[in-house]
Homo-oligomer: A and B are copies of this chain.
Amino acid sequence: MNLRSIPRDSDRAAVLAVVKATGFFSGEEEAIAVELVDEALARGPASGYEFLFADAPDQPEKILGYTCYGPIPGTQSSFDLYWIAVTPTGQGKGLGRRLLLATEEAARRRGATHIYADTSGQDKYVPTRAFYTRMGYQAEAVLRDYFAPGDDKILFSKAF
């Protein structure tokens, strides 16, 4: 399966479906995920949002997972991993790993020296945090109650 970097109109619904299917995100977060696709569709690379999509085989207009990343404004070579999401049916097959490695490669080709990924301290994110650690990311900071009372932000980074 190839990863696709050019977003298309059907990705609005496809991204929303993936993000909903994970069961991890609030309505506000779902809206933000779609907004980033809209920005990329409307403004192209000038939006600052790049994507990699794992298209679902034999299901046009559906995806099994995706990443959204881009250069952080005001930095020379730091990139942000804004989103990574894989549908439950796509999980456990190395797709998250493949998406993240391809994202790191694409960012490095564009000059990235660092990539940052924020996640949550909630129990349901234990697998997410373990995933970043396996992928070579360091927890740089724990921001207490950042997302909400009892919901910390964990800031991961990887230097190339």
Q: Which residues of A pack against B, CB within 8 Å?
A: 26, 28-29, 32, 73-78, 113-114, 116, 140-141, 143-149, 151, 155, 157, 159
Q: Is the CB of B32 within 8 A of A73?
A: yes
Which chain B residue has the least Cβ–Cβ distance from A78? B146
Checking B26, B73, B78, B141 against A141 with a beta-carbon cut-off of 8 angstroms, the contacting residue is: B141
Q: Copies of this chain, how many?
A: 2
Q: Is the CB of B74 within 8 A of A149?
A: no
CB distance from A158 to the nearest CB of B (A): 12
Q: Is the CB of A29 within 8 A of B141?
A: no
DSSP class of A's interface residues: helix, strand, loop or mixed?
strand
Q: How far is the CA of A113 from the CA of B143 in the complex (A)?
A: 13
A-B contact pairs, 15 of them (CB 8 A): A26-B74, A28-B74, A29-B74, A32-B73, A32-B74, A74-B147, A75-B146, A76-B148, A78-B146, A114-B145, A116-B143, A141-B141, A141-B143, A143-B155, A144-B159
Q: Is the CB of B145 within 8 A of A113?
A: yes
Which chain B residue has the least Cβ–Cβ distance from A140? B141
Chain B residues lying within 8 Å of A29, measured Cβ to Cβ, are 74
Checking B78, B151, B157 against A147 with a beta-carbon cut-off of 8 angstroms, the contacting residue is: B78
Chain B residues lying within 8 Å of A148, measured Cβ to Cβ, are 75-77
